[in-house]
């Protein structure tokens, strides 16, 4: 699988995960969101994506959903820290979609 970004071919796994994490940028994120996850990114999506990337930068791992809910609650309040909120924005699941669009490694057990 691949996406085209600014005339460049970006290689993805069969499931749409970025193969070379160093190729990630916002244009790549937009392409993965549009072409793979079928999501139109809004500022709310970017808040989640940027928060997952910050967590990864700080801890070297992608956050589990229950941990991420706590992080979001502290940063944005309880109304933006529920599974229903996440699924409204990422219908295929927070861990799968947000991390995939954010150019992070595929978590264990995630297709």
CB 68 within 8 A of CB 52: yes
What's the CA gap between 6 and 1, in Å, rounded? 17
End-to-end CA distance of the chain: 14
Other C-beta atoms lying within 10 Å of the C-beta of residue 102: 26
Residue carrying structure tokens 């190729």: 23
Residue carrying structure tokens 């609650």: 73
Q: Just list the catalytic residues.
A: 110
């Amino acid at each position: 699988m691949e996406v085209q970004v600014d005339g460049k071919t970006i290689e993805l796994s069969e499931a749409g995960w970025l193969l070379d994490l160093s190729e990630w940028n916002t244009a790549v994120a937009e392409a993965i969101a549009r072409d793979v996850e079928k999501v139109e990114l809004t500022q709310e999506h970017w808040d989640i994506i940027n928060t997952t990337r910050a967590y990864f930068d700080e801890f070297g791992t992608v956050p589990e959903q229950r941990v991420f809910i706590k992080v979001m609650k502290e940063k944005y309040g309880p109304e933006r820290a529920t599974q229903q909120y996440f699924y409204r924005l990422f219908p295929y699941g927070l861990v799968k979609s947000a991390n995939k669009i954010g150019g992070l490694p595929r978590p264990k057990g995630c297709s």
